[in-house]
Structure 1
């Protein structure tokens, strides 16, 4: 754990240096972070915002659990953050987020490989003998947001005992230390490695390498180019989904030094142009 913290610290320091280099130029810049699940729409939005306002968007993405801990436990260089609303709400309570707006609703689903057909038609099947479940039990020990949500879904469905028995004994449960986001500038982080250490990629790797048959993920993950053509999706009955766990939002960081531009960015994201970009990625912004 200490090693991870040191790595994160170094990464955050590099990130700060990169931001400083931008401040030495005349071009205004904005630091935006998002859940890595939202990388595709936000990279396109950033390009369009840069053209519209003749500025530079310094963009970083991170697994939701890492971003949640970075926001609530540390102060890292950011002006705007887009992630699960439950994280933004907690950060606002702590005085870390000045204001936030809802973006859209997602849903949690069960996935399996098309090439490995399994008889699963509902969440209840994940508690039955013979179904190997991809999950990361160790992540629940440090309150990984995605793991905690999945654990609650399983409890609500009344299958916790069977679900836990169906987790293979040897599964990878890597993670990314949140301190890295405070120590390293966004442009210096290894995002591919960070993505692969997220809960979603960890459990997907379990089914991809046939260590498990199924896993539970946010549906946004299933739309990533590397995933979407390989899987079969089974929806989960909404009655088992924890309240607020499907909502995403976007907020302005309280200690941002570029709040005027941050507000322009929020307005751009929520504009008709921003809405159309999200729709390209099958994400429908909530009605205003």
Structure 2
């Protein structure tokens, strides 16, 4: 009888361990540019509801995310704000070849009503204006903005009006929303997502630097199968519709 009781206890313990393991959720760690937060949060919720998994997303400036991947040697997917930081990650052997499926379109944002009557890039050089721009080392829009202004031959003139460099695109939008600055250059999608009381001023086509947004698998992934499945979900037609809702332009629908 005593032996049977011991056997029963061992059996129950083993069954409990197996049950716990079955209930354990697979997890992914994804590094995503801050400008994609709203659509990626929505996609995360849908995927988690349909699958017994947990998606952990770290949002931030693309350069900062790249540094985290390189330092920690962890992660499953990388989705920066442009190919610039993804190519660096590729060159360093941190990621596989990425899939480019969205466009990031730079625009000028001003307060609703456009009180400073800003109509284009040249107006950003006017004396007395206060401008917020993205940090050139940590934020994807930073070096893109510099290229735009250099193409227009006004980088140094605009630089004199810059009062702050931000490390997150949402902060650039907030700076305009709060009247801290008169204008900023951000992604169109960021203006749609975070702009409360803003107007969007298009940038002249001959000067603009439209970028593609990639997503790809980090080479340190511990679950390549799940990573590929989630990547496929993000770039699916359903995923693209969600991105379009937040102001993004899908790469194969630009025309």
* Range of TM-score over shorter length: 0.7 to 0.9
Over residues 215-256 of structure 1, what are the superposed CA-to-partner deviations in whole Å (9 max), with x where a residue is unaligned? 1111121112x42x31111011232234xx521011000111
User: TM-score, structure 2 length as denominator?
Assistant: 0.80
- Which of structures 1 and 2 has the bigger CA Rg? 2
Structure 1 vs Structure 2 CA RMSD: 2.6
Q: Of 219, 244, 252, which residue of structure 1 is paired with 2:188?
A: 219
Number of the residue aligned with 2:96: 98
Gaps of 5+ in 2: 1-20
User: TM-score, structure 1 length as denominator?
Assistant: 0.72
Contact 2:133 2:166 (8 Å CA) reproduced? no
Measured at CA, do residues 31 and 206 of structure 1 come closer, stay the same or move farther in structure 2, by a change above 3 Å?
closer
**Deviation of 1:99 (Å):** 2.6
Verify: 1:282 aligned to 2:251, yes or no: no
Measured at CA, do residues 29 and 279 of structure 1 come closer, stay the same or move farther in structure 2, by a change above 3 Å?
same
Q: Of 217, 220, 239, which residue of structure 2 is paired with 1:252?
A: 217
Q: Which segment is superposed worse, 210-219 or 118-127? A: 210-219
Q: Of 205, 210, 215, which residue of structure 2 is paired with 1:238?
A: 205
Contact 2:173 2:191 (8 Å CA) reproduced? no
Tell me which protein shows more strand as a share of its residues.
2
Measured at CA, do residues 212 and 276 of structure 1 come closer, stay the same or move farther in structure 2, by a change above 3 Å?
closer
Q: How far apart, CA to CA, are the structure 2 residues paired with 1:134 and 1:239?
A: 22
Q: Of 41, 46, 49, which residue of structure 1 is paired with 2:47?
A: 49
**Deviation of 1:51 (Å):** 3.0
Q: How far apart, CA to CA, are the structure 2 residues paired with 1:58 and 1:232?
A: 33
Greater relative CO, 1 or 2 (CA 8 Å, sep 6+): 1
**Which portions of structure 1, spanning 4 or more consecutive aligned residues, are displaced by more than 6 angstroms?**
none
Q: How far apart, CA to CA, are the structure 2 residues paired with 1:166 and 1:287?
A: 37
Q: How does 1:110-259 map to 2 (within 5 A)?
A: 110-114=108-112, 117-135=115-133, 139-140=135-136, 142=137, 144-168=139-163, 171=164, 173=165, 175=167, 198=168, 200-224=169-193, 226-227=194-195, 229-242=196-209, 246-259=211-224
Q: How far apart, CA to CA, are the structure 1 residues paired with 2:249 and 2:155?
A: 32
Q: How far apart, CA to CA, are the structure 2 residues paired with 1:36 and 1:48?
A: 19
